[in-house]
Structure 1
């Protein structure tokens, strides 16, 4: 692609984004500035990016962690994290999502004060680059809002300097009744400025002030930030809360066409710098809306599979997989050049909006009550009409799976491993939260100290306390890490677990959840079969339909499967990965 072709494409995207905005500069000039800001020159454009390329494979496993989830003494936490990765994750994890590691004022990093520096309490850019040297680095682009304590917002209050015109304001008399909110706090923040009283838009909290992307200087600032992160080693970008980026008063201000086009523009610029850099959109919204962020393989490379956590956890505590099965059958296969990002636990809670339309209101209510019984907290949102609805469940995944709707039982570890076995085999790239890898329980003390429900799943481990637990064969932490590591190593060796390998949902009743994967070269088949109940289950061999000319092996237990048997017996929460080839 020549400079002119790229310039014309960027200009066309800008013409769409700013069609209803009176710009202070022509889009031709803005396109040139954006291309130069990302660091592209004409000599960089000899070879255009190849469309529909998969820059991932079955070996990709992403660990999600805070920079200080594991600490030791006075050592910089990012240095401690790097040591932990090399000791405990060397043969399992190859990519690391370090949650916002910038100076911040609230929301555990997602209220960024300064996008260009590393939080001194965590370390420095050298520490980030050291991790990026050995692991694919995923970094957050907190693009919807920043901290009210940022220099940009201070300049907004003063009415001069960089950032003085970066923020979205509205009038309290505007019709804001349709605005979709993930919080119940007031939307507008009354702020006294040098230009009089302003009402600043705050989608999340009054410490998180929303940007006004109608101002092209905001877009230019973020392209400059992206360039910095690429220079520091970032290979994956997580666009945080991006669904709320563009606002138009009188609309719901979510998933607007301009938002999608901004993502496509960012994709255009990034893929010309390095086509292997992956954009992941974080859009905690109903499933049908979430899928639109793939675009036509020209928007996000990957989207968070937000419906998976509530559906999978509900499946395992209810002992019934019909909702999970129906959802999986409805999911379109991701075309080449795109893939799902699968996860079942994160630094946030188990989101319930992505379950809307998939679980009934009664099912969601029963699910919420079960999680509360297991020590979970509930965060609420304001729905249309002002009614409060549960937005997410705050609980560690390990404690969420301590039992069923009947109460806690002895199957906690097995149920927990079953959840991950299901997720690890699915189409897409797996993401595993550090506290899932460690089998961490609810942190009630941190909730009491912070007053924030999400703190329940954000424990900060002291490495000197954690290491003896990980090394003791009797601790839940050792059992979880050992069994998860084994599953991950098996998964990474199987071509049929490529994120874009064929997937087909099996019909094995409501207590057995199963699906079939086939490698891209069609040489390997894996039947993934899980007992999601607390009772032993029988699966008829004829229902799985294994090919009689092949030899079959359960990759998990390493046991050969006799085709002369009429059925398989699965213990409670047992998973089998039945394969015609073994690549381990």
Structure 2
């Protein structure tokens, strides 16, 4: 067989018949009689992308296909940040890779860096051009260089792709406003005001204070355009097969630039249906499964991350309903429960959420986190606890107790979310709060997420216990968006001090320890889901089932707690974090103490 023929076979969608069958089935579900024509167009796009895929990325594809369980490894630490606030631009990011690698980071997740609209852009989530990098951050060549440098370090790049909406300045929207019927069909448009009213009856406002309503009238369109988030972010219409193909082309293009994973922003909103809240519809999951199947054909090493901050019942299907979809999803329920447990000094809600999270499929992994660039959404726990519980936690973190957080907007009848850096939420820097206990709370949370099954995520600055950025209120471009409270500029002077053993070193050294310890679990044979073990109201316990015995113990109270362990954990063990031996019998944990119990040897 000639080289040209070999390339043709490798690039053929039929080279992965099982993935192609899934793709055909999902497109048929979504587009009915129009599916065959769309499938032919998709096949051509996949063949072209596969043929154009650079050799180093083909090698990565082959390596990951030979190790189907790689997604389940412990210690695949992710670091998330805004490029400009972390390093100025992409070249600055490349210059700081030694710092990140020293932190134990395996994956970089920069928040939106594709070209956004000028002016207000929802933190970059209003994309004007998916094929270009934000000019202030660099260009596509620099992005490719970053991806290559990461591969050389055995690291990967997770990129935000805003798949639900575009900026109103995107070329598609510009052509739609100019009257082009082809591109008008890319967006959800309504020409009758009474129809808008009917839709709104079932919809929930995402930003009721700063952007109420879900539609915006546009004089050029002579119609209301669906705008779930802000008026300048126009929702795409995925019932149009052209939109599916356009977004797939974007994923394939960026995958061949070296991007190893995509965070599908606002994924729950992809499909609209009258009489519902138009979130997490069955077609939404089918779209994501179709994306996954297509990538399995042309770029099989590339993973998908569902940005679905929803109830667990709505998140789990993003892993796939009847076939694989996303490899990763945010473990939002457990994250929120951890904060609730700190407030109450009672781990009951964490036990409930861990039990629910264990329902994930084997092919998927949780992205475990303490904080991120968004607000802490208490409503995500609504199906597990009472409204009084949600209100109590919301009030606690709105500057109450040890917390220095701030309330954020919510829909009418909902519970206000919480803004703030993790350090501020645990009380670091707050007058009158015991700072030793505050630092212990932060370390406890990060120690727990590193011990869980899944990938731990570090939010920029948490490794240095950086606090809130109240200066955003002085910037007219950011002052109305409360989430900028927890989007500070990276403090590189503090980082230098911490690395030299000075101010900030305690938390930095601890998180570095967690990263090493989590990666060491693989060689030690620790695997499997985190299953809660009920010990006492104040002590969280969970085991990892699937390998060598492992038990995480975390005291969520300000008092020493004594617990009695059952077999096999009642035998002498060893703390994998400190190396100290743990005798059999009752075990006493100091305030906010964390132990990773494992067998001796």
| TM-score strictly above 0.5 | yes
Which residue does the alignment assign to 2:35?
A: 27
Check the 8 A contact 1:244/1:254 in 2, yes or no: yes
TM normalised by structure 2 equals 0.86
**Alignment partner for residue 2 of structure 1, among 14, 18, 25?**
14
SS in 1 for 2:222: strand
Question: Do structure 1's residue 567 and structure 2's residue 586 form an aligned pair?
Answer: yes
Change (3 A) 1:241 1:581: farther
SS in 1 for 2:255: helix
**1:397-416 matches, cutoff 5 A:** 397-402=422-427, 408-410=433-435, 411-416=437-442
**Alignment partner for residue 560 of structure 2, among 500, 518, 536?**
536
Which residue does the alignment assign to 2:488?
A: 459
Offset at residue 388 of structure 1 (A):
4.3
Question: Do structure 1's residue 281 and structure 2's residue 302 form an aligned pair?
Answer: no
Which residue does the alignment assign to 1:12?
A: 25
**1:61-100 matches, cutoff 5 A:** 61-71=77-87, 77-90=89-102, 92-100=104-112
- For 1:2-27, what per-residue CA distance to the aligned partner results, in whole angstroms no more than 9, with x for missing partners? 369465543332221124xxx7xx42
Check the 8 A contact 1:95/1:137 in 2, yes or no: yes
Change (3 A) 1:268 1:4: closer
- For 1:12-65, what per-residue CA distance to the aligned partner results, in whole angstroms no more than 9, with x for missing partners? 32221124xxx7xx42221011122234589999x9x97993232123111111
Offset at residue 329 of structure 1 (A):
2.2
Check the 8 A contact 1:312/1:419 in 2, yes or no: yes
Between the aligned partners of 1:154 and 1:535, the Cα distance in structure 2 is 61
Between the aligned partners of 1:145 and 1:259, the Cα distance in structure 2 is 14
Offset at residue 226 of structure 1 (A):
0.5
Which residue does the alignment assign to 2:234?
A: 209
Between the aligned partners of 1:555 and 1:7, the Cα distance in structure 2 is 45
Q: Supply the RMSD in Å over aligned alpha carbons.
A: 2.9
TM normalised by structure 1 equals 0.88
Q: How many residues align?
A: 556
Which residue does the alignment assign to 2:351?
A: 325
Between the aligned partners of 1:166 and 1:580, the Cα distance in structure 2 is 58
Poorly superposed stretches of 4+, deviation over 4 Å: 3-9, 40-45, 49-52, 496-500
Question: Do structure 1's residue 38 and structure 2's residue 38 form an aligned pair?
Answer: no
Between the aligned partners of 2:515 and 2:468, the Cα distance in structure 1 is 24
Which residue does the alignment assign to 1:380?
A: 409
- For 1:202-244, what per-residue CA distance to the aligned partner results, in whole angstroms no more than 9, with x for missing partners? 0111011101112211111111100111011111111111111
Which residue does the alignment assign to 1:484?
A: 511
**1:144-543 matches, cutoff 5 A:** 144-160=164-180, 163-170=183-190, 171-174=192-195, 175-176=198-199, 177-184=201-208, 185-193=212-220, 197-294=222-319, 295-373=321-399, 374-382=403-411, 387-390=412-415, 392-402=417-427, 408-410=433-435, 411-449=437-475, 450-451=478-479, 452-461=481-490, 463=492, 465-471=493-499, 473-475=501-503, 477-495=504-522, 501-518=528-545, 520=546, 522=547, 524-540=548-564, 542-543=565-566
Between the aligned partners of 1:8 and 1:545, the Cα distance in structure 2 is 45
Q: Which runs of 5+ in 2 are unaligned?
A: 1-12
Change (3 A) 1:282 1:52: farther
Check the 8 A contact 2:162/2:264 in 1, yes or no: yes
Check the 8 A contact 2:358/2:530 in 1, yes or no: no
Check the 8 A contact 1:58/1:497 in 2, yes or no: no
Check the 8 A contact 1:418/1:530 in 2, yes or no: yes
Offset at residue 91 of structure 1 (A):
5.6
Change (3 A) 1:88 1:11: closer
Check the 8 A contact 1:427/1:498 in 2, yes or no: no
Check the 8 A contact 2:366/2:453 in 1, yes or no: yes
SS in 2 for 1:408: coil
Check the 8 A contact 1:553/1:581 in 2, yes or no: yes
SS in 2 for 1:461: coil
Change (3 A) 1:163 1:51: farther
Between the aligned partners of 1:39 and 1:499, the Cα distance in structure 2 is 40
Check the 8 A contact 1:287/1:307 in 2, yes or no: yes
My pick for the range that moved more, 93-102 or 326-335, is: 326-335
Between the aligned partners of 2:219 and 2:542, the Cα distance in structure 1 is 58
Between the aligned partners of 1:320 and 1:257, the Cα distance in structure 2 is 36
Between the aligned partners of 1:7 and 1:425, the Cα distance in structure 2 is 37
Between the aligned partners of 1:497 and 1:111, the Cα distance in structure 2 is 44
SS in 1 for 2:23: helix
Check the 8 A contact 2:49/2:256 in 1, yes or no: no
Which residue does the alignment assign to 2:569?
A: 546
Check the 8 A contact 1:429/1:499 in 2, yes or no: no
Between the aligned partners of 1:77 and 1:466, the Cα distance in structure 2 is 20
Change (3 A) 1:11 1:424: same
Offset at residue 252 of structure 1 (A):
1.8
Check the 8 A contact 1:55/1:276 in 2, yes or no: no
SS in 1 for 2:74: coil
